[in-house]
Amino acid sequence: MTELPHPEHPRRRAAVLFIFITVLIDILSFGIIIPVLPHLIVELVGGSIARAAVWASGFGAVFMLMQFLFSPIQGALSDRFGRRGVILISCCGLAADFVVMALAPFLWILFIGRAISGMCSASFTTANAYIADITPHDKRAAAFGLLGAAFGLGFIIGPALGGFLGHVWIRLPFWVAAALSLANFCYGLFVLPESLPRERRTPRLEWKHANPLGSLLLLKRYPQVFALAAVFFLLALAQYSLNATFVLYTDYRFSWDTKTVGLALGLVGLCTAIVQGGLVRPLAPRLGNRRLMLAGLMFAAIGYAIFGFSPSAWLFWIGIPFLCLGGLASPPAQSVMTHMVDPAEQGRLQGALSSLRSFAGIFGPLLFANLFGLFISKHAPVPDFSGVAFALAAALVLGALALTAYATRDLPAPAAAAQSGAR
């Protein structure tokens, strides 16, 4: 497959569309199983929500451990051999993962499925590097926002569809997710060109960089990138309060079934798509990257606090738009970082960032799910505080807000809409 031509060429636009669709379908596939996977775990452990919460934390940990290990490998491979093959192989692997989970009669087989999923979902690393390859500096915040919108759209359709399908048969969403991933692979075979020209690839594959610790050494060479990467880590850790406890928390607190959870997560997706697809592009040049990041972090902290302390379901719903406005922070932060790193190292940068998020994901599900399980048990240190996971997430985001304010104090004011491109 030949490399991409001029930025305005129709094949390049088709490639951008494919990356958008790849992320959309991948998130749609994951979104479909979100409302049903915890309930399938409940079924396989005999009906105990508290036990299921502990098992779910283990599932989350093995998923993120695989992503932690394989994200830098995929990033290094894509820097050396190009992005296309890495993305297509990952799409095919995801299809295999969902088939394994659809057939799994025991928890240990589900574990195998989650391990495969963790390896293959590291393709988001390569998708981000692909966007950095083909997007001018001054448009990267908007481009990363577009990928965020794909995440949002996937969560609009996926959880709602998964809740409906799971109501029919709890394993049906896994088969649908497998079909979507396989269709995405087939589509990419005919549409996706290579984004990284041979002359811009790394001359050789250095395995010392293709591992989590080695890839993180890249961040130390760029102090501001290192600080913003720490912000990414805190945000990722906070987000696992949702991944680990949202379904079980709303079941325990508000008696929500799979349909209601699907609708709630669909609203999360809708708000995320509006924020990242519709607000980042116009606000980035007006507010500047720094103010946009700080505003997004403040909204996220408010959203988590509402989730953790809301006394009723209607107030919990109000927290969703606030939490989604937190999506204003990620695209400008990622844009700033890509501008400070050499073009030949974009895959390694994205691999390092993904490894940090995965590292948070190894411990986040264990931390939040076990906290939730403890605080709903008879040994709870504080009664009626089942929202403890979201309260802790709010505190983590406030820490990220303080770190961002310090790390970006030297960024230019909004008047420099081209601030990042000048770097």
Residue 401 confidence (pLDDT)? 95
- What pLDDT does 296 receive? 94
Question: What DSSP letter does each residue of 181-201 carry, written as one string?
Answer: HHHHHHHHHHH--B-S-GGGS
Phi then psi for 285, rounded to 5 degrees?
A: -75, -25
Residue-range domain boundaries for the chain: 10-194+217-407
Residue at token pair 């922070």: 329
- Encoding tokens for residue 195? 């984004």
What is the pLDDT, as a whole number, of residue 134? 79
Residues 217-235 have a mean pLDDT of 82
Helix (H) or strand (E) holding 47: none
Q: How many Cα atoms within 13 Å fall on the side-chain side of residue 112?
A: 11
> Is the pLDDT higher at 26 or at 283?
283
**Where do the DSSP E strands lie in 165-297?**
none
pLDDT tops 90 at residue 163: no
DSSP-derived 3-state class of residue 417: coil
| Phi–psi pair at 204, nearest 5 degrees | -155, 160
Tens digit of pLDDT for each residue in 331-364?
A: 888 888 877 777 667 777 777 787 787 778 778 8
Q: What is the pLDDT of residues 109-140, one digit of tens each?
A: 887 887 888 777 756 778 778 887 877 766 77
The CATH topology of domain 10-194+217-407 is Growth Hormone; Chain: A; (1.20.1250)
| Tokens of residue 345, six digits | 């190292």
Backbone angles phi, psi at 381, to 5 degrees: -70, -25
Using pLDDT thresholds of 50, 70 and 90, give the confidence band for residue 8.
very low
pLDDT value for 5 = 45
* Global confidence as pTM: 0.67
The CA–CA distances, whole Å, from 41 to 70, 114, 210 equal: 26, 13, 34
Which residue in this structure is represented by tokens 């569309």?
A: 17
CA distance 342 to 331: 19
Measure the CA–CA gap between 334 and 370, rounded to whole angstroms.
Answer: 31
The tens digit of pLDDT for each residue in 41-100 reads 888 877 677 777 777 777 777 877 787 777 777 777 788 777 888 888 888 888 888 888
Higher-pLDDT residue of 296 and 210 is 296
C-alpha distances out from residue 16 to 180, 371, 420, Å: 19, 41, 21
Please state at what angle helix 223-254 crosses helix 346-375, rounded to 10 degrees: 30
